[in-house]
């Protein structure tokens, strides 16, 4: 019997709704498998905690999380707290503090879910975006002077290091190597950004030599949005900077039907610290409390978490259950259905119980 300690941080908006759904699916999987248990501890950190204490999490928050096997995270963001406070107060300190440098974002079109792209169905769009998650445009460097004056200047400095770029490039090539098509697209903006981005291109070419069985190509990020939209079949594994991949993966989610089906894993590949699993979407206050948040992104990231923990069978079982349910048309309104979060969750749990894998 394997026992895993999971830290659940539902946080804000629909975060608690989708994390509750995810935990129900994980419970059904434990019962179905019988050979692993998840000991889940809840943390009430987030915007309400901030309004009470002036912090998004306690000062020793990361220390409290260190001994867990994984972190299961909802979303941050509240209408009455500035977004940079919620993001820099909780999610980014965990990602950066635990050096979760590989942010892995799979996208494909699930059966029964329509892409907004005409004639594009399951099989036409099957990507994994690898986002550099520790430096780049989100390194937090910069400043403002002459605040509020006409002379005001603000800088937002991107930091790219050879160590940081090499390790994410190796991770992406290795991931591409493990997939059937063995193809990697390296995204930059090395025409306009001639320092860090040119280093990305150079390091990509160096690391490519270690992976002779992987084919690869380069794209500028603006042209990449066009290729994703017009030639989705031509892409497989994609690697990009923190900012570029953040933007491209929201587009990828939309092209696969909804942000509500897009998962992400913040991985420390060296396993020195816990990795963190979350849906890509935010706190979605426009639908909070309505019971219609799509739980599929959270189920999918729960599958990524199980995979990371070494429970590959349970992960496959969960994804099969999700696909069974979407194919049957049990879907929330964002993907054209009428079901509630709880109805989708119940159907997925039922499919897990009846699963033959």
Which positions lie near Mn ion, rule CB under 5 A?
Answer: 246
Please give the angle made by the CA atoms of 281, 122 and 284, to the nearest 5 degrees.
15
Q: How far is the CB of 193 from ligand NAD (least distance, A)?
A: 24
Binding residues for ligand NAD, per CB under 6 A? 14, 18, 75-77, 83, 91, 259-260, 281-284, 286-287, 293-294, 297, 332, 334
Report H helices in 59-211: 61-65, 83-86, 92-97, 162-178, 196-208
Of 35, 44, 217, 222, which residue is the catalytic one? 222
Cβ closest to ligand NAD, residue 106 vs residue 260: 260
Q: How far is the CB of 206 from ligand NAD (least distance, A)?
A: 32
Cβ closest to ligand NAD, residue 185 vs residue 288: 288
Q: Which does 294 bind (CB under 5 to 8 A by kind): ligand NAD, Mn ion, none?
A: ligand NAD
Q: How far is the CB of 12 from Mn ion (least distance, A)?
A: 15
Q: Are 136 and 165 in contact (CB under 8 A)?
A: no
Of 12, 101, 126, 189, which residue is the catalytic one? 189
Q: Which does 76 bind (CB under 5 to 8 A by kind): Mn ion, ligand NAD, none?
A: ligand NAD
274 Cβ neighbours under 8 A, 6+ residues apart: 7, 65, 66, 68, 69, 70, 71, 98, 268
Phi and psi at 235, nearest 5°, equal -110, 155
Cβ closest to ligand NAD, residue 86 vs residue 188: 86
Q: In whole angstroms, give the CA distance from residue 81 to residue 64.
A: 24
Write out the DSSP string of 263-287: EEEEE-TT-SS-EEEEESS---TTT
Cβ closest to Mn ion, residue 17 vs residue 246: 246
Q: Which does 284 bind (CB under 5 to 8 A by kind): Mn ion, ligand NAD, none?
A: ligand NAD
* Whole-angstrom Cα Rg for the chain: 20
Render the burial of 295-329: b for 16+ CB within 10 Å, e for the rest: bbbbbbbbbbbbbbbebeebbebbbbbbbbbbeee
Report H helices in the chain: 15-33, 47-53, 61-65, 83-86, 92-97, 162-178, 196-208, 221-230, 242-255, 296-309, 312-327, 341-353
Q: How far is the CB of 27 from Mn ion (least distance, A)?
A: 29
Of 48, 250, 273, 346, which residue is the catalytic one? 250
12 is catalytic: no
Q: How far is the CB of 284 from ligand NAD (least distance, A)?
A: 4
Residue with tokens 């349910």: 325
Of 12, 69, 126, 246, which residue is the catalytic one? 246
246 is catalytic: yes
- Copy the structure tokens of residue 319: 């994804």
Q: How far is the CB of 276 from ligand NAD (least distance, A)?
A: 10
Residue with tokens 């107060």: 89
Cβ closest to ligand NAD, residue 161 vs residue 342: 342
Cβ closest to Mn ion, residue 135 vs residue 246: 246
182 is catalytic: no
Of 4, 50, 101, 138, which residue is the catalytic one? 138
Q: Which does 236 bind (CB under 5 to 8 A by kind): ligand NAD, Mn ion, none?
A: none
Give the residue numbers annotated as catalytic, written as ranges: 138, 189, 222, 246, 250
């Amino acid at each position: 019997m394997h026992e895993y300690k999971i830290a659940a941080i539902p946080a804000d908006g629909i975060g608690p709704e989708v994390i509750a759904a995810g935990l129900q699916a994980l419970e059904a999987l434990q019962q179905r498998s019988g050979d692993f248990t998840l000991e889940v501890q809840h943390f009430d950190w987030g915007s309400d905690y901030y309004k009470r204490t002036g912090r998004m999490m306690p000062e020793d928050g990361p220390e409290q999380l260190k001994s867990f096997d994984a972190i299961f995270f909802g979303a941050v963001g509240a209408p009455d707290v500035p977004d940079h406070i919620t993001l820099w107060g909780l999610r980014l300190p965990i990602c950066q503090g635990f050096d979760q440098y590989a942010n892995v974002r799979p996208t494909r079109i699930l059966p029964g879910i329509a892409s907004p792209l005409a004639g594009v169905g399951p099989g036409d769009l099957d990507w994994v975006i690898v986002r550099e998650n520790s430096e780049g445009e989100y390194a937090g460097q910069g400043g403002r002077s002459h605040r509020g004056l006409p002379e005001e200047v603000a800088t937002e400095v991107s930091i790219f290091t050879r160590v940081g770029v090499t390790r994410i490039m190796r991770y992406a090539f290795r991931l591409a190597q493990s997939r059937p098509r063995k193809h990697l697209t390296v995204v930059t903006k090395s025409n306009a950004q001639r320092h860090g981005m040119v280093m990305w291109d150079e390091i990509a070419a160096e690391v490519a030599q270690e992976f002779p069985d992987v084919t690869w190509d380069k794209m500028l990020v603006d042209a990449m949005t066009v290729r994703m939209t017009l030639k989705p079949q031509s892409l497989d594994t994609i690697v990009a900077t923190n900012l570029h991949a953040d933007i491209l993966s929201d587009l990828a989610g939309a092209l696969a039907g909804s942000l509500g089906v897009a998962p992400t894993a913040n991985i420390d590949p060296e396993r020195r610290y816990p990795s963190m699993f979350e849906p890509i979407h935010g706190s979605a206050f426009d639908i909070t409390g309505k019971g219609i948040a799509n739980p599929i992104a959270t189920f999918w990231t729960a599958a990524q978490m199980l995979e990371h923990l070494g429970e590959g069978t349970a992960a496959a079982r969960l994804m099969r259950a999700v696909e069974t349910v979407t194919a049957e048309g049990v879907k929330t309104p964002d993907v054209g259905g009428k079901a509630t979060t709880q109805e989708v969750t119940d159907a997925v749990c039922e499919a897990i119980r009846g699963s033959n894998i």
